[in-house]
Amino acid sequence: MASVAGVMGSKSDEPIMHECTDVLACLGVSFECFVASAHRTPDRVRELARYAADRGFEVIIAAAGGAAALPGVLKSYTHLPVIGVPLASSELKGIDALYAIVQMPPGVPVATMAIGAWGARNAAIFAVEILSLKDDALRTRYLEYREAAEGAQ
């Protein structure tokens, strides 16, 4: 079964990450969330990234504010796709996090979503799109989800 690791830099990021996990749960994608900071717990971040594939994860979604090093540090230790969600946790209202995540150097790609809740939801949807490339049942659920969302507008 497809699986996503959600990593947030701080426990206070949890309400925004619920936007992400709600979408994953709705679509039947298994996930596990972790709190790990690139600055405060770098060894934990390294271990999460290095062993994510061994633990069955196929995509990592990382939410971080401020300097937002978390998605890039995770990516530096894994071959898995990493999706970054910038958070508005500083005086700059997330622009600093957006720039930090989107400006990754060549060879260390991190997909970057919008700041905040919209980005968290889109990160989940993007992860589902990646996972559904090899999971027909998930693709069917995702297409039904999209159709229902379009009908609700």
Question: What residue ranges do the domains of the chain occupy?
Answer: 3-151
> What counts of helices (H) and strands (E) characterise the chain?
6, 5
d(CA 54, CA 27): 23
Q: Would you write out the chain's pLDDT as a tens digit for each of its 153 residues?
A: 559 999 999 999 999 999 999 999 999 999 999 999 999 999 999 999 999 999 999 999 999 999 999 999 999 999 999 999 999 988 999 999 999 999 999 999 999 999 999 999 999 999 999 999 999 999 999 999 999 988 776
Given CATH 3.40.50.1970, say whether it is the number of domain 3-151: yes
Q: Is 108:76 a contact under the CB 8 Å cutoff?
A: yes
